[in-house]
Amino acid sequence: MSSKSIRKKLMLAKKLNQNKPLPNWFRFKKNTTIRWNAKRRNWRRTKLKL
């Protein structure tokens, strides 16, 4: 297993943060039509291009 550079580690951390569902308080806001996170990623289906 190779060691990661700091840049790659930061990018992986960012992608980890982005891969979360919408918070419920945002979903229940009055004038929003967004129901789920359209950019959600599954680790088996879609690989990161890093």
Express each pLDDT in 9-39 by its tens digit: 999 999 999 999 999 999 898 888 989 999 9
Tokens found for residue 34: 């967004």
Query: Does 44 map to a domain?
Result: no
Domain range for 20 is 1-35
Query: Does 15 map to a domain?
Result: yes
Query: Does 43 map to a domain?
Result: no
Query: Does 24 map to a domain?
Result: yes
Query: Does 7 map to a domain?
Result: yes
Contact 8, 50 (CB under 8 A): yes
pLDDT of residue 2: 79
Query: Does 41 map to a domain?
Result: no
From residue 34, alpha-carbon distances to 9, 23, 30 in Å are 30, 11, 11
Question: How many domains are contained in the chain?
Answer: 1
Query: Does 9 map to a domain?
Result: yes
